[in-house]
Amino acid sequence: MSSWLVLTLLQAANPQLPPASTSVFVIATVIKMIVVFTILMVGVALLTLAERKISAWIQDRHGPNRVGPHGLLQPAADGLKNIMKEETYPEKANIALFVLAPAIAFIPAMLTFAVIPFASPLPLPGVGLIDMVVAPLPIGFLYILALTSLGVYGIVLAGWASNNKYSLLGGLRSSAQMVSYEIAMGLSTVAVLLVAGNVALNDIIWQQATTVWNFFGLTIAFLIFLIAAFAETNRLPFDLPEAESELIAGYHTEYSAMKFSLFFIAEYSNMVTASALLVTLFFGGWDIPFTLWDNMAPWSVWKTVLTGLVFAGKVLFFLFFYMWIRWTLPRFRYDQLMSLGWRVLLPISLAYIVLIATALLILDLLGIRPGAMHGTILGVVNLAAAGVLFLVLDSGRVISPASRRVREDELRRLRARRERSPLAVPGGGD
């Protein structure tokens, strides 16, 4: 008997509260909207402080420490400064789109978190069972993919409406980057949907709770999704749309005051959503590892609180990882960026879908249902595929390398040309 069937029987045998009525559902949804988005906005402000503190720690220096105890009020000081700063508008900008662009970038970044479950259901005596998700859509994953693709319109409009060549280049880079990596991101999650058999995020969490986290069985899909998430959020080493050394500040060069801040709020909100989605798809969401206690009735407030804290801890780990990578790795060249998206991630995603679909079909024909054995076999297949993939990528000739070995005949030809040229600089190139 599979662990999924065991869990279903245990839930049926335990008494639990009925689902909430329609009026209670509406009131609970409004309360969840206020609480969740308030925490998200405050968290985004604190993430700016965390980024500066982590960068200071990595570079062995002091971070913000003058405003409030240990610099904790620095985000409030920065927000007050941006509110009080003068709003500037370029002379020949399209003012309507110039003002609208930050909102278009900000709103999808906030709304995508609405469908991500962040804790186990909350039982309220006399009320019912409340799902700990703002909008429990049965197609929550598809909703996220659709809504996150809208954020690029704000960036492109900001670049075009500014009437600045650097801003325009940043907007064009962002659109090309989004198109290049959204495909790989979507394809990488097909393997997750094949294993879970559903696009509802709650069902994906249940599937991982009863078998094994998808990270262990779908590691290559996780790596592709992680790389694409860095590119989608314009974070290093994929921050080409706002490369300071090339484009001043990219698409938000002409922005000031709170419109400038909205782009950063959108960026950090996208980081939170991407981290929460990584946790949900590959690390069991709010599931506590090595136990089924949190996944079955009877539900309790303590289960909701504990699973919510576990979910927050997993998300904070990936947020730290985002910041760690930013202050560790250099920026990609633009040709390397496009080569990685189209020539590496896309073919790997397609091949991996075929591999996982074939493995699942064979397991189904053999009568092996989701459970410990099913997860172990998928893990072995995934480990073998990851070993082959890393051997190929480690050759150093896949992602448009910055340097390559010159063939002996080509080296002799270059040396002969240099010797024949009277104007050649010793040690210089041709």
Tell me what pLDDT residue 20 has: 57
Q: Is the pLDDT of residue 406 over 70?
A: no
Tell me what pLDDT residue 405 has: 65
Residue type present at position 336: Q
| 46 falls within a domain | no
Q: Is the pLDDT of residue 1 over 50?
A: no
Token pair 């279903």: residue? 8
| 408 falls within a domain | no
Closest CA to 140 of 30, 276, 17, 36: 276
Residue 180 belongs to domain spanning:
82-401
Q: Is the pLDDT of residue 107 over 90?
A: no
Summarize pLDDT for 59-83 with one digit per residue, the tens: 888 888 888 888 888 888 888 888 8
Residue with more model confidence, 167 or 245: 167
Q: Is the pLDDT of residue 339 over 80?
A: yes
Q: What is the DSSP secondary structure assignment for residue 130, as one 8-state letter?
A: E
Tell me what pLDDT residue 320 has: 94
Closest CA to 254 of 88, 104, 82: 88
Query: Coil, strand or helix: which one is 128?
Result: strand
| 41 falls within a domain | no
Mean pLDDT to the nearest integer, 284-312: 85
What confidence tier does 245 reach under pLDDT thresholds 50, 70, 90?
Answer: low
Q: Is the pLDDT of residue 430 over 70?
A: no
Summarize pLDDT for 42-57 with one digit per residue, the tens: 888 889 899 999 999 9
| 316 falls within a domain | yes
Tell me what pLDDT residue 427 has: 52
Contact present, 30 and 38 (Cβ < 8 Å) = no
Summarize pLDDT for 5-34 with one digit per residue, the tens: 444 443 433 444 455 567 777 888 888 889
For residues 212 and 215, what is the distance between their CA atoms, to the nearest angstrom? 8
Closest CA to 225 of 351, 398, 349: 349
Tell me what pLDDT residue 282 has: 92
Summarize pLDDT for 342-400 with one digit per residue, the tens: 888 899 999 999 998 898 888 888 888 777 777 788 888 888 888 888 877 766 565 65
Q: Is the pLDDT of residue 402 over 70?
A: no
Tell me what pLDDT residue 171 has: 80
Q: Is the dihedral of CA 141, 142, 148, 149 positive or negative?
A: positive
| 115 falls within a domain | yes
Q: Is the pLDDT of residue 2 over 50?
A: no
Summarize pLDDT for 175-205 with one digit per residue, the tens: 888 888 888 888 998 989 888 888 888 888 8
Contact present, 382 and 375 (Cβ < 8 Å) = no
Work out the percent of the chain whose per-residue pLDDT is above 90.
11
Q: Is the pLDDT of residue 298 over 60?
A: yes
Q: How many domains does the chain have?
A: 1
| 62 falls within a domain | no
| 225 falls within a domain | yes
